Copies of this chain bind each other. A is one copy, B any other.
Amino acid sequence: MSVDTVRWTGGVDGYARLIDQTKLPGELVYLECRTDEEMVGAIKRLSVRGAPAIGVAAAMGLVLGVREAAPATEEGLLEALEASKARLAASRPTAVNLFWALERMAQKAEVLRGRGVAGMLEGLLAEAQTILEEDDALCRAIGSNGAHLIENGDGVLTHCNAGGLATSGYGTALAVVFSAHEGGRRFTVYADETRPLLQGARLTTWELMQAGIETVLICDDMAASAMQSGRVTKVVVGADRIAGNGDTANKIGTYGVAVLARHHGIPFYVAAPGSTFDLSLSDGGGIPIEERAAEEVTEPGGVRMAPEGVRVWSPAFDVTPAELITGIVTERGVIKHPNAKKVRAMMGER
């Protein structure tokens, strides 16, 4: 199971091509981004979403931004890169992979000095491709490292979509699931629909069904009952940013699932690549949480369901304290019962 979430087509005069995830599962439609502003738009409206996928998209967006500026000199290219980086960085605040990828591209540009404008642009495109390929390798390593956590007969709850669509193609939380399934284990995945934007109902079920994995869709408020009744025996979710002590920001609702899992004695796993760790933050308190527009709540599926003028509070993410996390599955291994020391030991030098 792998999907072509975001890909580059052609050479430096090419474009980024990405699955418009707002149209799934009804239609599999591809968007073509030829400017960084088009990429910013795609990220903002969640046509491309998921922390690792946003990182790849931002790197490609930066190539588009630099190319569009048509700089005459290397200095001009670096200025264009900084301007484009600022535009892309303003698209969404929580997933750290976005900033990580932009920073990596900026550092690469410094290394590429002296190759001329055309050479630098080619080098930047190659770096974006490398980020994409590395992400795929990391996701497969996450899958391998986490597959043993899923046993025959398990009921695995996941929230939002941390599948191929959230990454270069194989997923993080779902990489664990795909890898266990490919290894011959048989289990059921319970997909929280994940309001307001229903990434679980629209994207996770779609990926799981394509992979031939037994899938049950539930509303978010059914998760507790699914645990109480014994249907759910494990939880695996992705992450948008992990602080130095293991505190994890992920899609709104994840923290609630973690509390419920703890109450029921159910293991709660996070799966994420190194680019999701933000070791500059000692704990999750420093992670900025995006708030989304009221209409995403009041108009599910585009149909008005709440009274006009009602106040809405719609944080896009929440922070799960490390003490509620049984383990963080990374490309380097599983950080069991994470804390600052264990996170540093596993992810400190990359």
Known A306-B25, A306-B205: A228·B318 in contact at CB below 8 Å: yes
Query: Among A109-117, A210-218, A340-348, which stretch is in contact with chain B?
Result: A210-218
Q: Copies per complex?
A: 2
Confirm or deny: A267 has a beta carbon within 8 angstroms of a beta carbon on chain B. no
B306 x A224 contact (CB < 8 A): no
What separation, in Å, do the CA atoms of A89 and B234 have in the docked complex? 38
For window 193-213 of A, CB contacts with B under 8 Å fall at 193-196, 198, 201-202, 205-206, 209
Q: Which residues of B contact A302 (CB under 8 A)?
A: 301, 303
Confirm or deny: A263 has a beta carbon within 8 angstroms of a beta carbon on chain B. yes
Selected contact of A306 from candidates B201, B222, B306, B312, CB within 8 Å: B201
Q: Which residues of B contact A221 (CB under 8 A)?
A: 159, 192, 194-195, 220-221, 252-253, 256
A219 x B255 contact (CB < 8 A): no
Confirm or deny: A300 has a beta carbon within 8 angstroms of a beta carbon on chain B. yes
**Closest residue to A206 on the B side, CB-wise?**
B307
Return the CB mask of A252-283 against B: 1 if under 8 Å, else 0: 11011001101100000000000000000000
Confirm or deny: A223 has a beta carbon within 8 angstroms of a beta carbon on chain B. yes
Q: Which residues of B contact A69 (CB under 8 A)?
A: none
What separation, in Å, do the CA atoms of A257 and B259 have in the docked complex? 11
Known A195-B221, A222-B252, A256-B256: A301·B300 in contact at CB below 8 Å: yes
For window 155-210 of A, CB contacts with B under 8 Å fall at 159, 190, 192-196, 198, 201-202, 205-206, 209
B218 x A314 contact (CB < 8 A): yes
A196 x B215 contact (CB < 8 A): no
Q: Which residues of B contact A206 (CB under 8 A)?
A: 307
* Max chain B C-beta neighbours (<10 A), residue from A223, A228, A307: A307
**Closest residue to A255 on the B side, CB-wise?**
B224
Confirm or deny: A97 has a beta carbon within 8 angstroms of a beta carbon on chain B. no
Question: Mostly helix, strand, loop or mixed at chain A's interface?
Answer: mixed
What separation, in Å, do the CA atoms of A221 and B259 have in the docked complex? 12
Q: Which residues of B contact A159 (CB under 8 A)?
A: 221
Confirm or deny: A310 has a beta carbon within 8 angstroms of a beta carbon on chain B. yes
Known A228-B255, A255-B225, A313-B216: A209·B307 in contact at CB below 8 Å: yes
A205 x B307 contact (CB < 8 A): yes
Selected contact of A252 from candidates B192, B225, B304, CB within 8 Å: B225
Known A202-B306, A224-B318, A253-B221: A215·B259 in contact at CB below 8 Å: no
* Max chain B C-beta neighbours (<10 A), residue from A262, A311, A315: A311
Selected contact of A313 from candidates B214, B231, B300, B312, CB within 8 Å: B231
Known A225-B255, A260-B259, A318-B228: A218·B309 in contact at CB below 8 Å: no
Confirm or deny: A137 has a beta carbon within 8 angstroms of a beta carbon on chain B. no
Confirm or deny: A226 has a beta carbon within 8 angstroms of a beta carbon on chain B. yes
**Closest residue to A190 on the B side, CB-wise?**
B313
**A and B contact pairs by CB, cutoff 8 A, 20 listed:** A25-B306, A25-B307, A190-B313, A195-B195, A195-B219, A195-B220, A195-B221, A198-B305, A214-B311, A217-B298, A217-B311, A217-B313, A221-B252, A224-B253, A224-B255, A224-B259, A225-B252, A225-B315, A300-B300, A302-B303
Question: 7 closest Cβ contacts across the A-B interface?
Answer: A221-B253, A224-B256, A301-B303, A195-B219, A220-B221, A225-B318, A300-B300
